[in-house]
Structures are given as structure tokens and as C-alpha cells.
Amino acid sequence: MSVTYSFVVPVYNEEEIISDFYQELSRVAVELRETYEIIFSTGGNTDRTLNILRQFHQKDAAVKIINMSDRFDYQAALKAGLDHSRGKAVITLDGDLQHPPRLIPLLIEEWKKGFDIVYTIREDTKHENIFKRTGSKIFYFVLKILTKLNLEENAADFRLMSRKAVDALKQFPERKRYIPGIISLIGFNRTGIRYECPQRTKGRSKFAFMRMLSLALDGIFSFSNTPIRIVTFIGFIMTFFSFIYLIYVVLVSFQHPNVSPGWASILACILLFSSLQITILGLLGEYIGRIYEETKHRPIYIVDELIGFEQKCSTSKIRG
């Protein structure tokens, strides 16, 4: 049987709120009066999330579960859901109700107008941590300068994609992936819908500072080699001034042979160049590390169990 809408929901340790989310999403899905499937992508939970999802499946055949062998990152969980989706339109959203299911009919309305990608844009809200809001603004500012990506600031992972857009997205095999950036590259007609992100009422956000920083670095280093070019340019400038300074030192030593050695300036130069070298090595390491990850060709995620799918995969390793 063909499926009109696929709802892809990555979840991890959401036992406190997942029932509320499922009830609201199910109500919206039924009101659409079309065939649908709800795909929960999860793995490595340390609470009752998986057991609750199993209960949903027992009561509702539309619920399907991808239980991965461990906790893979959010981007991998999202890819797993997209890989297994069958809908003509695929809607991705988080299971914490900060992506309100009530907005889904608006996304579908735009899709029916001919848009292949309908994304959402979070309005600034006072309840969000000031460090998170400031960090987000800095990230989008830097991303806009360093890359050619056309990304809306505060664009969320709550979006609708047509089947051909999903199929195009699946052709990108990167391990270190930044899905919003890849979606920006695939083209197609797109439009955005603004919404006010509601405050999380239960549970805690799983996006800690280090995970957000890692995602930001993936977004920058996966789509731009500008950082390398910047430090190369700085290196040329420093080399030029160092050469000028060298000439100055030689001239002074000939004219004033008794001048005491300039230990302060030497120390400053050593510290400056040492810092520059460490920075350059760090940037090179980021790029080389990503090349290393890609050359190993390891699977992006590994499926332990598929629940509710008509056909089970012949292998537990699902490659990108």
C-alpha cells in the first residue's frame, strides 16, 4: 500500500514527553485523511523510551521503529528515518513538542502548491538560553561568510520534503554530515514558514554545548575550505612582516653593534608564531580528520531491529 505522508522522528531518552508527542502527532495525522506512517528512529536509550514506542506500535500499525545498535548522533538517526521512509512527502520533526505537529497542515499546504522543500524558521523566544541564542547567531553569521550555503537563520530540522528531494538527499554519502547544508545544495523549489518555538514542558534537551559545537564545526568544515585560505593569507602577511623585521635587525646590528639583544621582541615573535602554527595545525587536523573518517567507509548507523516494516533488511549494516 502506498503511503502519502511519512513522519520521521529521531528520539533519545524521551520517556517523559513521548506519549504527549505521539498523541498530538497522531491526532494531526488522522485529520489529514491520507495514508501515513510514523517512523521513530532511536537507539542506546537508558530509560523506557523504546518500551513505550513498542506499546505505540502494538496499538497503532502506522507506528514503525528503527532501533539502532547504539546511540548514534542526531544526523545519523535522521538519515536512518529518511532511508526507511516511503511517503510521497516526508516530514521530519523532533519528539519533544518543540516542533509543533499542529503546523504540519501548513507545511502540506505549501507542498501541494508545488514546493519540494518546506522548512520552518524559529522565531527568537525569550525562554531560550541567552548563550544558545547568541551562539546560534554567531554560527549563522560565520557560516554565511565562510560558505556559499543559502541558509535561513534559525532554520529548524522541522521540515517537509517531497519524495524526489528525499531521494536526492540520500545520494550524499558523507559520514560527518550537516543535513541543512546538504539540503541547501540539492536545489528544488523551497519556501519557509516562521513559527514561535514553544518551551519544553518535560524532560531535558539532548543538545548540550559540545554537541552543538560539534554540529557547528561539521557545518563549517564540510562546506568550506575558507578557514584554510584565511590562515594561509595570514601566514603570508606574517612572513612579509617577519622579513621586514629581519632586515631591520640586521641593519641595527651593523649600525649599533653594542645594542643589547631584544629579548622581549624575540619572545613576542616566538609566542605569536607558535600560536599561529598551532592554529594552522588545528585547522589542518579538522580537514584531515574528516578525510580519514570518509576513507574508512564505515556505516553511518547500524540497525539492531526494525519494528513494523514490511520487509526487514538482510543485514544490520546500513550504509550511506
* Mean pLDDT confidence for 170-189: 77
**pLDDT higher for 314 or 138?**
138
The whole-angstrom separation of Cα 213 and Cα 210 is 5
Return d(Cα 128, Cα 194) in angstroms, integer: 17
Taking only the tens place, the pLDDT of each residue in 268-288 is 577 667 667 767 776 777 677
Four-way CATH pick for 5-205+298-318: 3.90.550.10, 2.115.10.20, 3.40.30.10, 3.20.20.190: 3.90.550.10
For 72-81, 110-119, 257-266, which range has the lowest pLDDT when averaged over its residues? 257-266
Identify the band that residue 226 occupies on the pLDDT scale cut at 50, 70 and 90: low
The three-state secondary structure class of 307 is strand
Banded pLDDT at 104 (limits 50, 70, 90)? very high
On whether the CB atoms of residues 98 and 12 are closer than 8 A, the answer is no
**pLDDT of residue 89 exceeding 70:** yes
pLDDT at 207 over 70: no
Q: Is the dihedral of CA 289, 295, 300, 304 positive or negative?
A: negative
| pLDDT band, very low/low/confident/very high, at 182 (cuts 50, 70, 90) | confident
Q: CB of 94 within 8 A of CB of 67?
A: no
138 or 34: whose pLDDT is higher?
A: 34
The full DSSP string for 194-239 is EEEPPPP-SS--S--HHHHHHHHHHHHHTT--HHHHHHHHHHHHHH
Average pLDDT, the chain: 76
| Residue 140: φ, ψ to 5° | -65, -35
Ranked by mean pLDDT, which of 8-12, 137-141, 148-152 comes out on top? Answer: 8-12
Distances (CA, A) of 53 to 75, 92, 204: 20, 17, 19
Answer yes or no: is pLDDT of 311 > 60: no
Which pLDDT value is given to residue 320?
38
Q: Which of 6, 313, 8 is nearest to 179 (CA)?
A: 8
What letters, b where the CB count within 10 A reaches 16 and e where it falls short, cover 280-289?
Answer: beebeebeee
Q: Percentage of the chain with pLDDT > 70?
A: 58
| Cα gap 211→135, rounded to integer Å | 13
Residue closest to 66 by CA, chosen among 38, 94, 104, 47: 38
Sequence-ordered strand ranges (E) for 103-154: 117-123
- Looking at residue 246, its pLDDT comes to 63
Tell me how crowded residue 302 is: count the other CB atoms within 10 A of its CB.
18
- 157 pLDDT more than 50: yes
pLDDT of 20 above 60: yes
Residue 90: C-alpha distances to residues 109, 116, 169, 251 (Å): 13, 10, 12, 71
Q: Which of 36, 54, 58 is nearest to 45 (CA)?
A: 54
Alpha-carbon span 239 to 80, nearest angstrom: 48
Distance CA 301, CA 311 (A): 18
% of the chain surpassing 90 pLDDT:
22
